[in-house]
Structure 1
Amino acid sequence: MNVGFIGTGTMGSLLIEAFIASGALSPSQISVSNRTFAKAQALADRYSGMRAEFSNESAACGCDVVFLCIKPHEFKRVVDDLKPVVRPDQILVSITSPVLISHLEGELDCKIAKVIPSITNYVLSGASLCIYGQTMQEEDKASLESLLSHISDPLRIDESYTRIVSDLSSCGPAFISFLLEQFVDAAVEETGIGREVALKVASAMLLGTGMLLTEGGLTPEQVQERVAVPGGITAKALNLLRRETDGVFNQLIRTTHDKFREDLTKVSVAFIGEEVNGQ
């Protein structure tokens, strides 16, 4: 399988490095392009055999799968670049949530998928959220998911839930890391414990909690019940957290959805010249 990556920014580079580290792809199977060629070349220089191309068209030619790892406002230009060269048997994968399957199917004569990755894929963990266009056959889906399974757990979702599953899977690591950072900083401020020690303890706790919720088969409620003895220290602190965070995550989800709708409108105008209702 030959795979092209258009866009070698944070997430594009992360996916490339994860695929190579997992053994899913060798550098010689990968071609890359970027708006700034020097960035694509710098990545290719790190992996012998990887091809840095000057144009998006060249990066896509000869590839079975092409990942578009670019920002929403760049899509129309890149799609216009690819129109003359894409083949009906190629799979084009967008990793950008506000770009709808219908946007791409209306412009390109190839198979279309959308995959929402996560920073956790860098350590070969977490989910890859998969959404498929009408021309993707079952064997195409299986082929793409086989590739993604080297770095993640591929999960098929409906496009209408793109934003909320992205909040949980892709934005979630930043949100949880923020809360952990606040926890650690408070521990240092209140007790004087060394930050390095506090962070090491808290990070190990987070990893173990994740394993309880996955391999251990426990629900979040069950974890709380087993840790918090009625009338004990943890129970009292949990009551404080419930009071102080009431409604915070509802506001968080509304904020991400508002930004999503704003980006979706801009993309829709770029592709079809008018606003659309979509998820």
Structure 2
Amino acid sequence: MNIGFIGTGNMGTILIEAFLDSGAVKEEELIITNRTLAKAFDIQKTHPGITVARDAPETVKQAAIIFLCVKPLEMVPLLQQLAPYWTDEHCLVSITSPITVEQLEAVVPCQVVRAIPSITNRALSGSILVTFGSRCSASCRQTINDLLRRIASPICIDEAITRVASDISSCGPAFFSYLLQRFIDAATAKTAITKEQATMLATDMIIGLGELLKRNLYTLPTLQEKVCVKGGITGEGIAVLEQRLDGVFEAVLAKTHEKFKEDVKKVRQQFP
């Protein structure tokens, strides 16, 4: 079964590379295109078995499952361009969070899925947030779940939690890498440790933390209990974090939801 990708920016490329690395898809099964074709040809240089289609309609003609990896405000013009080419047998997979499956189903005749990826999927890890449209057949759901399961943990979500779920799974890596970088910067600014040493230690620490959680050896609360000896050094550091971080993540979520509402409003104006 051929799989098409319209849009080979950051997330489109991450998904393509992840599917190939996992063995979920063969190069010969991929049809890709991009508004700037040079970007698609750059991927083909590394994976010569991939077919680069000249445009989006050609991609839809050649593939059964189509991943639309474009920005929210580019979606409606793209769908208008593709209107003559969809069939009932196609499965459209959108990775764009502000656009609902209901909005997509209103303008295309095919089966619709929304799958919001994370950069962690590039390491065949993390979650991918899935919402199936009402027209998705049982076989389509099974095919998409089987495909996504090769690169991540597919998590079915309701529309109501789309933004916060995306904040955790998709934005979370950026948020916590920023905090980790600030931790490293503070260590190098205040002590004799080099940036290289601090980065290596912090990287090993975060990977080890992930392994502890992955293997269910500890929960987040029990990890803190095990490391924080009463009256010890770690406890003093935690006390500072409790004071300084109070309300920080509430403010972060408020800001992401505010921006999401703006995007949803702009998108809604484009849809009939």
Are 1:76 and 2:76 counterparts? yes
- Equivalence for 1:54: 54
TM-score (norm 1): 0.95
- Equivalence for 1:276: none
Superposed CA RMSD: 1.0
Alpha-carbon distance in structure 2 between the residues aligned to 1:76 and 1:53: 20
Q: CA deviation at 1:148?
A: 0.9
Alpha-carbon distance in structure 1 between the residues aligned to 2:234 and 2:45: 51
Alpha-carbon distance in structure 2 between the residues aligned to 1:126 and 1:265: 29
Are 1:193 and 2:193 counterparts? yes
- Equivalence for 1:26: 26
- Tell me if structure 1 keeps the 8 A contact 2:31–2:62: no
- Equivalence for 1:213: 213
Alpha-carbon distance in structure 1 between the residues aligned to 2:265 and 2:192: 49
Sequence identity (%): 41
Moved over 6 A (4+): none
Question: Deviations along 1:116-160, whole A, 9 cap, x unmatched?
Answer: 100001111101111110011232112111111111111111121
Q: Counterpart of 2:271 in 1: which secondary structure?
A: helix
- Equivalence for 1:244: 244
Q: CA deviation at 1:62?
A: 2.9
Alpha-carbon distance in structure 1 between the residues aligned to 2:153 and 2:25: 17
Q: CA deviation at 1:46?
A: 2.2
Q: Which moved more, 1:90-99 or 1:55-64?
A: 55-64
Q: Counterpart of 2:62 in 1: which secondary structure?
A: coil
TM-score (norm 2): 0.97
Alpha-carbon distance in structure 2 between the residues aligned to 1:217 and 1:82: 49
- Equivalence for 1:45: 45
- Equivalence for 2:159: 159
Are 1:124 and 2:124 counterparts? yes
Q: Which moved more, 1:186-195 or 1:111-120?
A: 186-195
Question: Deviations along 1:8-62, whole A, 9 cap, x unmatched?
Answer: 0000011101111111111110111111122222222321121111210111113
Alpha-carbon distance in structure 2 between the residues aligned to 1:64 and 1:145: 15
After superposition, where does 1:89-168 map in structure 2 within 5 Å?
89-168=89-168
Question: Deviations along 1:152-197, whole A, 9 cap, x unmatched?
Answer: 1111111211110100000000001001001111111111211111
Q: CA deviation at 1:217?
A: 4.5
Q: Counterpart of 2:130 in 1: which secondary structure?
A: strand
Q: Counterpart of 1:83 in 2: which secondary structure?
A: helix
Alpha-carbon distance in structure 2 between the residues aligned to 1:62 and 1:51: 10
- Equivalence for 1:180: 180
What residue ranges of structure 1 are gaps of 5+ in the alignment? 273-279
Alpha-carbon distance in structure 1 between the residues aligned to 2:45 and 2:4: 16
What residue ranges of structure 2 are gaps of 5+ in the alignment? none
